[in-house]
Structure 1
Amino acid sequence: MTSRIFMFFAASLAVCAANIAIDSQVLHDVFGDYKRGPVGAESNVQASAVTPVPEGTLVDLDYWDADSFSPAPADYDKFDWTLTKRVAASSDQNFLLSPLGLKLALAILTEAATGVTQNELSSVLGFDLDRNLVRRKFANIIESLQKESPQYILNLGSRIYIGDNAQPRQRFAAIAQEFYKTELKTVDFHNPAVASKEINNWVSNITQGRIPTLVDEDDVANMVVLVLNTLYFKGSWRHQFAPNATKPGAFYVSPKIQKSIQFMNVNDKFYYTESAKYDAKILRMPYMANKYAMYIIVPNSLSGLPRVLNDLSDLRLELNNLREYQVDVTLPKFKFDYTSQLDGILRELGIRSAFDVTASFPGIARGQRLDERLMVSKVLQRSGIEVNELGSVAYSATEIALVNKFGEDTEANAEVVANKPFLFFIQDEATRQLLFTGRVADPSLADGAFKLS
C-alpha cells in the first residue's frame, strides 16, 4: 500500500478600501457582502511600533516615504524569478504563483533532508551552506510577515500533520517550531473523512474562506505526513481607484484580438520608471501602511511581454531607476484562479533526488526498511487573485506530496495604461520577499492550469 506525505502552502491576499469615506452601496457593489469596519475586529491585531534595524533605517508603517527605494541584490530571489519564467513559458495565458509559499514549504522539507537530497534542495533554492543563516533568514521573513497593523491583516500559519505511522525526530520538530513557527499536530489519516475536514477547516479559517477545500478524502487516505503553510493578507490600496471612474475599454489580448474590459483609473504620485532594457513601464502601487506593494510591468508594444519574461534576472536592477512621479494609471479589473503542478519544473531545475528512491528525509522517520522511507511524489499550488477599485484578493496553496520510496487632480508627468498583457508581483517591502508573481494575459478569463510532468 502506498503512503503519502503532502506538503501544502495556502495563501490568500485581499486588498480593500483606503481609509476614506465610501458609500456602503459602492462597497457592496465592488466586494459583495463586504462589512466595513475596523480591520482589528477581524483579526484582533494592534498597530506595530516603529522598530530600528542595525543599518539605522526604520522598518515602520511609512518607511517608504522616509527613505529612498533600495531594491535587493539581483540574485536575492533568483529561484523565484526562475520559477516564474518557467511557468510563464509554458503558455501565453494568465498565471499566478506564490514563490514565497513554495520556498517556505521546501525550506521545511529541506530541514528534514540529508545528503544529496538536502544539497539539491539547498542549491536550487539558493540557500547558504550555513543552515543557521538560512534558518535566521526565514525566521526574519516570518517575523516581518507577522508584524501587526490596524491597516491590514496578515494571517500566517504553518502546520505539520503527522500520521500515527510516522514519528518526527525531536531535532527536526524543534527546528520547525523555533525558526519556521510550525506546529506539529497528530491526525488520523486512516480516517480520511475526518482528516480532510480538519485540514480544510484550518486552511479555510486562516485564508478567510478563500480556499475552502484544499484536500479531499482521496488526497489524505494513507498519507504519512502533511506539511502545510498558510498565508492570508488583506489590506488597502494607498491610492484608491475611484469606483465612478471605472469604464469599459479595449484590452489587446494579442495584436489581432481585443476584448472589452472594465478599466479603473487613478491619478496620483507613484514610484515609476520607463525601462529601456525591457521597453516597458514599471509602476509601484503601494498598499496602505506601505509595507506591501504590487509592481506592474507593462510593455510598450502589444507583443513585448516575452522580452521582459526572458530576462527577469535583471528586473531588480531596473527597480533602482524608480522615481516618484505624478502618474495617471489605467488598470483593468481582473479575477482568476490558477492551479500549477510544479514537480516537473523542480526536477528540471535540479531537485531530483527528492523525487527518487535515493531520497533521504530522516527528519521525518517512519521506519528503517526501504519500503517505509519517503520521497516526494507531487508539488501542487492552487492560487487566485482579484483586483478591483478598492484593492485585490489573492490566494494560493502549494502541495508537496511524499510517498514511500517506492486621488489628487493634478496633471500627470507619466501615464501607465495596462491594456495589453502585463507582468505583476506583490512583495513584502521590508524583506523584498515575493509573495506573488503573475501575468494578466486576458482579464476576462476566470481560471487556468499548468502541469509539467
Structure 2
Amino acid sequence: MISRICFVLFLAPCVLGNGDPIDPETLHNVFGYPQYNTAASNVATTTLSQVLPVQPVNSTLTDPDYWDVDELPSAAVADYDKFDWVLTKRVASNSNVNFLISPLGLKLALAILAEAATGLTRSELSSVLGFEVDRHAVRRKFSTIVESLQKKSPQYILNLGSRIYVEDSAQPRQRFAAIAQQFYQTELTSINFHNPQAAAASINAWVSNTTQGKINNLVDPDDISNMVVMILNTIYFKGTWRHQFDPNSTKEGVFYTTPNQRKPVQFMRVKDKFYYAESTKFDAKILRMSYIGNKYAMYVIVPNSLTGLNMVMEGLSTLRPEMDSLHERLVDVTMPKYKFDYSSELDAVLRELGVRQAFEDTASFPGIARGQTLAQRLRVSRVLQRSGIDVNELGSVAYTATEIALANKFGEDNESSVEVIANKPFFFFIQDEATRQLLFTGRVSDPSIVDGAFKH
C-alpha cells in the first residue's frame, strides 16, 4: 500500500487576543488527557496496544509474531485521539468519495504552532486538540510520540521529518526554537522567501527526499512569495503484511460502489490468523492486519450491508470500545487493490471545530514573530493536506507531508473460519500500536478512482 499526505497552513499578521482560562475538566472531556505522572511516563518504554482482548485467552498460545511474551499490550492509560476521530468524521461527512488524511500529521503541525501562540489563539488550539493545561505534560507526550515514530527497524520503514523554514529577516525566539528541537525533533532553517523560485525548489527537494519521492511538488513559487515561516513535517511509512496476499489468487470481482452501481476491480485474497471482531453496534466486521514487526497495523471496518458505512462513520468516536472484542481466529479475507490521491483544504474544518482566532488578524504567535506590532503578527490563512495510498498484495507504503506556512497578510488448519469480504465501501486506518496514534485514516468508496479532493 502507498499513501501520502501533505498539510499546508498559512499565517499572516494579527493582534494579541486574551481568552478566559480553559477549565481543565473541559479539556479532559475534549481530548481525554490524564494528569501526567511517573507511572504514565513509564509507558514510553513499553509496548501499548489499544485493547486488552488482543491477548489470547490461553497465555501459553501467545503468538510472538504479534506481541513479545513479556510485552503483552495492556489498555492504554490515555485516550488522546479524540481530535483524530472528530477530524476524520468531519472530512468524511462532506461526501461519499474516497478520502485519506493524516490526523497525526495535522496534529503535530498544530502542536508546534500552539507552542508559538499565546492568549485566546493558544487556548482555542489547546481546547480543540485536547491538550492539558500543563504545557510540560503536552510536550512530554508529543516527545514520546515522536520518539516512537523515529524507532528504526529492518522490518519496516517509518521516516518522520520535521522542519521550520524561517525567512532570513525574521527572528523567532530562541525559546521556541529550543522547544521545537527538544520535544518535536524539529529544526529551524533560514530561507530567503523573497526568492520564491529558489525557496520552493529547496523545500520541495526536502519533502521529496523525506517521502521517498512520493511528494515532489508540495509548493510552487506563488504559494510562498509572501511567507515568513513554514512549518513542515513528513511521514513516510513502508510496511509488509505479516500475512501477505498471494498474487496468484488476485482476480477480478464486483465492488458495489452503491446498492445499484457496481464496478469490476481486482480483489486480493488471503486466509490466515488475524485479530477479528463482529460489531453488533455498527453491524460491521473489524479486522486487524498487522505489518511485519507488529509495531504498525491497518484496521479495516467493513459494514455488513451495502449502505452500512454511514453508520460506522457517524459513530467513529465510539469505535475504540468496539475493538475490545478483537480476538484471534482464522479469517478468509477478500479485499480490493486500491490506489488513489487525495487533497483536502482543512481551514474551514478547523474553524468549525473551534480553531477560529488563529485565522483572524487578532491572532497571536509571538514565539515566531517577535514583537506585537501589526507588521510583526501572523494569522493562519490556509490549511492543506495532500495524500495518496496504494494497497497491494505485499503490503503498504504511506507517506505524508504536513506544512504550516506563515505569511504576512499581504501575501490453514481445521479450525472454522470467518469471512471478511470488502466488496462495498469500507473504512480503514493505520495505527502506531505503541502510542495508538492514527498515522492515516481513510475510506474506500470506489477502488477504481485514482484522484479526489475535499474543499469546504
Q: TM-score, normalised by structure 1?
A: 0.85
* Residue identity opposite 1:370 in structure 2: L
Matching of residue 170 in structure 1 with residue 158 in structure 2: no
1:404-415 pair list within 5 angstroms:
404=408, 408=412, 412-415=416-419
Matching of residue 199 in structure 1 with residue 203 in structure 2: yes
SS state of the match for residue 376, structure 1? coil
Q: Which residue in the other structure is 1:45 paired with?
A: none
Say what the alpha-carbon RMSD is for the aligned residues.
2.1
SS state of the match for residue 182, structure 2? helix
- 2: CA distance between counterparts of 1:250 and 1:158? 42
Decide which of 432, 437, 451 is 2:436's aligned counterpart: 432
Maintained 8 Å contact 2:173/2:370:
no
- 2: CA distance between counterparts of 1:412 and 1:223? 60
Q: Which residue in the other structure is 2:264 paired with?
A: 260
How far 1:103 sits from its partner (Å)? 0.3
1:6-85 pair list within 5 angstroms:
7=9, 54=42, 58-59=46-47, 62=65, 64=67, 66=69, 70=74, 72=76, 75-85=79-89
- 2: CA distance between counterparts of 1:209 and 1:123? 35
- 2: CA distance between counterparts of 1:375 and 1:239? 47
- 2: CA distance between counterparts of 1:343 and 1:299? 31
Maintained 8 Å contact 1:74/1:314:
no
**Structure 2 gaps, min length 5:** 1-6, 11-40, 49-63
Maintained 8 Å contact 2:164/2:232:
yes
How far 1:76 sits from its partner (Å)? 2.2
- 1: CA distance between counterparts of 2:191 and 2:102? 27
Greater CA drift, 163-172 or 346-355: 163-172
Maintained 8 Å contact 1:267/1:329:
yes
Q: Which residue in the other structure is 2:350 paired with?
A: 346
How far 1:153 sits from its partner (Å)? 1.2
1:305-358 per-residue CA deviation (whole Å, 9 max, x = no partner) reads 010111111111111110000100001000000000000000000000000012
- 2: CA distance between counterparts of 1:122 and 1:108? 11
Maintained 8 Å contact 1:428/1:434:
yes
Matching of residue 240 in structure 1 with residue 228 in structure 2: no
Q: Which residue in the other structure is 1:14 paired with?
A: none
Matching of residue 302 in structure 1 with residue 306 in structure 2: yes
1:85-107 per-residue CA deviation (whole Å, 9 max, x = no partner) reads 00100000000010000000000
- 2: CA distance between counterparts of 1:289 and 1:64? 9
How far 1:63 sits from its partner (Å)? 6.0
SS state of the match for residue 445, structure 1? coil
Maintained 8 Å contact 1:237/1:287:
yes
SS state of the match for residue 375, structure 1? coil
Q: Which residue in the other structure is 2:372 paired with?
A: 368
Maintained 8 Å contact 1:72/1:316:
no
- 2: CA distance between counterparts of 1:297 and 1:68? 24
Matching of residue 273 in structure 1 with residue 277 in structure 2: yes
Q: 1:190/1:426 Cα in 2 relative to 1: closer, same or farther (>3 Å)?
A: same
How far 1:302 sits from its partner (Å)? 0.2
Q: Which has the higher contact order (CA 8 A, sep 6+)?
A: 2
Q: Which residue in the other structure is 2:330 paired with?
A: 326
- 1: CA distance between counterparts of 2:217 and 2:120? 35
* Residue identity opposite 2:312 in structure 1: V
- 2: CA distance between counterparts of 1:320 and 1:393? 27
Q: 1:193/1:338 Cα in 2 relative to 1: closer, same or farther (>3 Å)?
A: same
Q: Which residue in the other structure is 2:363 paired with?
A: 359
- 2: CA distance between counterparts of 1:362 and 1:58? 37
Maintained 8 Å contact 1:69/1:320:
no
- 2: CA distance between counterparts of 1:74 and 1:314? 15
How far 1:54 sits from its partner (Å)? 3.7
- 1: CA distance between counterparts of 2:147 and 2:114? 20
Q: 1:266/1:65 Cα in 2 relative to 1: closer, same or farther (>3 Å)?
A: farther
Maintained 8 Å contact 1:267/1:409:
no
* Residue identity opposite 2:98 in structure 1: N
- 1: CA distance between counterparts of 2:257 and 2:164? 42
Maintained 8 Å contact 2:233/2:403:
no
Name the count of aligned residue pairs. Answer: 403
1:50-129 pair list within 5 angstroms:
54=42, 58-59=46-47, 62=65, 64=67, 66=69, 70=74, 72=76, 75-129=79-133
1:231-260 per-residue CA deviation (whole Å, 9 max, x = no partner) reads 111121100001001011100000000000
1:41-94 per-residue CA deviation (whole Å, 9 max, x = no partner) reads xxxxxxxxxxxx946985399563535554547842110000000010000000
**Structure 1 gaps, min length 5:** 9-52
SS state of the match for residue 168, structure 1? coil
Greater CA drift, 191-200 or 65-74: 65-74
Q: Which residue in the other structure is 2:217 paired with?
A: 213
1:133-144 pair list within 5 angstroms:
133-144=137-148
Maintained 8 Å contact 1:359/1:405:
no
Q: 1:105/1:156 Cα in 2 relative to 1: closer, same or farther (>3 Å)?
A: same
Maintained 8 Å contact 2:363/2:378:
yes
- 1: CA distance between counterparts of 2:89 and 2:388? 18
Matching of residue 132 in structure 1 with residue 120 in structure 2: no
Q: 1:378/1:410 Cα in 2 relative to 1: closer, same or farther (>3 Å)?
A: farther
Give identity over the alignment, percent. Answer: 69
Maintained 8 Å contact 1:120/1:351:
yes
- 1: CA distance between counterparts of 2:65 and 2:179? 33
Q: 1:425/1:140 Cα in 2 relative to 1: closer, same or farther (>3 Å)?
A: same
- 1: CA distance between counterparts of 2:450 and 2:420? 24
Maintained 8 Å contact 2:44/2:144:
no
Matching of residue 449 in structure 1 with residue 437 in structure 2: no
Maintained 8 Å contact 2:238/2:398:
no
Q: 1:410/1:329 Cα in 2 relative to 1: closer, same or farther (>3 Å)?
A: farther
How far 1:268 sits from its partner (Å)? 0.5
- 1: CA distance between counterparts of 2:379 and 2:323? 40
Maintained 8 Å contact 1:74/1:313:
no
* Residue identity opposite 1:219 in structure 2: D
Q: TM-score, normalised by structure 2?
A: 0.85
